[in-house]
Structure 1
């Protein structure tokens, strides 16, 4: 498979621009001797005590030098070459820094790279320059050979003697062949140099896996914290609604029934009025309980699924909502509920703040993710701020590893993207 280098294109001018870079890399490969020698000398001074800070300083120089080459290799390969070093905190003392740097495998790979780059970096990059100059020398030979004194040696080592014009033409064809070879081999030589640099200076597969695992654990810890906070807030909301709503109604119902019981013999009319009030309290309590249940898990989701529930939301919206749903199955109930409430909150925000005439809702399933888009042609200016409604949506979706993205320039349109990974079951 041919190497693909984004920095090296197919044109002659692009390759010519690589020549100064190759010359600089060839020089840099030999400059790597400086930090390498400093590390060796500093290590030999460790028994004297001054070696510990000297080693740390020389390793820091190695890492700075390696960072420069990581950047060049990354630009040539078209991908970032990450720094694989273990973190060193500022509050760590000299001994702790020495221990961390010495136990870091990336430190030893840096030293191996300095040695390997002395050969690979010099050879590959000098070949790029020397092949170009050799081709230039032989291609231009027919132009300037006439000005040489008769019998003079042509070339730095006198390998060829241009006695006739025909000889110089053959050498010009040789130079043309060298140029063609240079055009073909330049990206491959640069790729070889870059791949050696990336292989030794970049993180290993184990280090990448550990970093990904650490990142994933952090994400799960944050997601769990958000889920716990959201669950606690939901419980507080349910408790508050029960205390302030249904519970108060039931207390009033009990009082009305008690008073009716006391007055039924002496004042039947008053007892009837109290019973009528009790019946109204019962109706109000039932309505509040139904609303509370809908806030926990809307019955429309259980009856009609997410598609039917979203259609009902669209019909209930004061703005004209265009709905397009393409989901070949049904997501898990917790995800279904979270997405439903998130879209309901988004549509509520549109009705309250956007002043939009037209709203669109798209729901699809792509690459294992449930994707919802809610947009409007309103005034725009929406943003995710702590304590706001959109921030609440973000926290709700984060419990399921979901994400929320809002684009809302002033003047509109506003588009809210919701994305939740999940598996579907047949509808």
Structure 2
């Protein structure tokens, strides 16, 4: 019974939210008209020196704020509308002409202006229907008892009922219930219709989507090249300062032992023992260096096995849940592993967490990685390079990262990589504590 009530209650709550959203839509649609008037005046004054350079960008900023608000409202009900604007010029603050030109030459600016009046008409009309129909049905339900009471005549201590008023009032009850239910059912669809209409004007065109895609690829390519160059410099530095120095020292020690082998065999044996120990240390450092480039566990056991091995090596208990029916391509697998590894490293260094968990899943062509800890929270991607490095690493493969870290915790980092799994799973799914 409780489950049935919940199933019936969800559409009702969704309908009520849509009715409230319809009220907001009507109020916002009214603001489109003065915005359109201001835009027309600003464009008419554009040829005026200095005045047009200042007034047009300011007015278009207001129009874009209104359009962005409509995009966010559409996205909240499942209609994704991406911002289609050109990126701002690098020297936008150097002068008003660059900002004026950036605003006026952007086709999205004119599409925003073209949407203001139709958007006001459609938004106001559909929003009014969303609000009026449920309220009319609600009035039939709530005001019917009042109508019946007003339809009675009181004479002394007795009441004489009007049969016609009473029967009409009873008929209003089921009518009001039907109208209210129909209004609540139709309100979400009307709001989605309004959002789809707004998307016709406010979403990027095909050319704009290609331009935004090229811009994104340019940025991610530059980040990837920079990250690879930094990684090569790190490897070179580690080789020069670590393994190479130890190998040079090892060669000198063996040379001294060779000189002393005839004159002082005991000292030569001591030097050879030191050389043996130094070679072992160099080998360990070399293994650590190789593991930083591409961990052997990742190549041998796949992403799930490598993450389990990493979790077991950390001082904080980490529960690992793996649900991967295969393995992604090697570059994607390496990026996913190092993203998780960097996240866990930040967790150990900064969060003060007592427990954590890692979840890896693949569904609908997307590899999802969720890292959660019970630490102090307050993680800020702009405060350090660790989280920004993860974002750059994922962006090279069109991946994304979402961070939720309120003060006091918990911290939840969700990373997603679009990819396909190419080979069957070789290890069963399990949970490691």
TM-score normalised over the length of structure 1: 0.61
The offset of 1:251, in angstroms, is 1.2
| 1:24 aligned residue (24, 27, 45) | 27
Q: Contact 1:249–1:285 (CA<8 Å) still a contact in 2?
A: yes
Distance 1:87 1:237 in 2: 39
Q: Contact 2:148–2:169 (CA<8 Å) still a contact in 1?
A: no
Distance 1:376 1:65 in 2: 38
Q: Which residue in the other structure is 2:276 paired with?
A: 283
Question: Structure 1 residues 272 and 411 mapped into 2: Cα distance closer, same or farther (>3 Å)?
Answer: farther
Question: Structure 1 residues 167 and 346 mapped into 2: Cα distance closer, same or farther (>3 Å)?
Answer: closer
Q: Which residue in the other structure is 2:43 paired with?
A: 43
Q: Which residue in the other structure is 1:294 paired with?
A: 287
Q: Contact 1:8–1:15 (CA<8 Å) still a contact in 2?
A: no
Alignment of 1:72-83 (within 5 A): 72-75=73-76, 77-78=77-78, 81-83=81-83
Extract unaligned runs of 5+ from structure 1.
Answer: 1-6, 148-163, 265-269
1:20-70 superposed Cα distances (whole Å, 9 cap, x missing partner): 4465356x1xx4332323333443344444445443343334334434544
Distance 2:409 2:175 in 1: 63
Q: Contact 2:53–2:97 (CA<8 Å) still a contact in 1?
A: yes
The offset of 1:232, in angstroms, is 1.6
Distance 1:372 1:226 in 2: 21
Q: Contact 1:380–1:412 (CA<8 Å) still a contact in 2?
A: yes
Q: Contact 2:339–2:394 (CA<8 Å) still a contact in 1?
A: no
Larger deviation: 220-229 or 105-114? 220-229
The offset of 1:124, in angstroms, is 2.5
Distance 1:21 1:411 in 2: 34
Q: Which residue in the other structure is 2:155 paired with?
A: none
Distance 1:256 1:276 in 2: 7
Alignment of 1:264-413 (within 5 A): 264=262, 270-273=263-266, 275-277=268-270, 279-297=272-290, 301=297, 305=301, 339=337, 366-367=362-363
Question: Structure 1 residues 311 and 302 mapped into 2: Cα distance closer, same or farther (>3 Å)?
Answer: closer
Q: Which residue in the other structure is 2:190 paired with?
A: 189
Q: Which residue in the other structure is 1:255 paired with?
A: 256
The offset of 1:8, in angstroms, is 8.3
1:143-202 superposed Cα distances (whole Å, 9 cap, x missing partner): 59979xxxxxxxxxxxxxxxx949994996696466565444444333323332243234
1:244-297 superposed Cα distances (whole Å, 9 cap, x missing partner): 32211211221332355xxx4xxxxx3433543454355335424432442344
Secondary structure (helix, strand or coil) at the match of 1:366 reads strand
Q: Which residue in the other structure is 2:93 paired with?
A: 91
The offset of 1:91, in angstroms, is 0.9
Question: Structure 1 residues 35 and 238 mapped into 2: Cα distance closer, same or farther (>3 Å)?
Answer: same
Q: Contact 1:360–1:374 (CA<8 Å) still a contact in 2?
A: yes
Distance 1:294 1:228 in 2: 21
The offset of 1:92, in angstroms, is 4.7
Secondary structure (helix, strand or coil) at the match of 2:93 reads coil
Distance 1:122 1:410 in 2: 41
Q: Contact 1:81–1:202 (CA<8 Å) still a contact in 2?
A: yes
Distance 1:341 1:137 in 2: 59
**Alignment RMSD (CA, Å):** 6.0
Distance 2:70 2:339 in 1: 50
| 1:109 aligned residue (95, 111, 120) | 111
Distance 1:409 1:235 in 2: 39
Question: Structure 1 residues 425 and 144 mapped into 2: Cα distance closer, same or farther (>3 Å)?
Answer: closer
Extract unaligned runs of 5+ from structure 2.
Answer: 1-9, 153-162, 427-433
Question: Structure 1 residues 51 and 167 mapped into 2: Cα distance closer, same or farther (>3 Å)?
Answer: farther
Distance 2:410 2:307 in 1: 21
Larger deviation: 319-328 or 279-288? 319-328
Question: Structure 1 residues 406 and 297 mapped into 2: Cα distance closer, same or farther (>3 Å)?
Answer: farther
Count of aligned residue pairs for this structure pair: 388
Distance 2:171 2:124 in 1: 28
Question: Structure 1 residues 276 and 41 mapped into 2: Cα distance closer, same or farther (>3 Å)?
Answer: closer
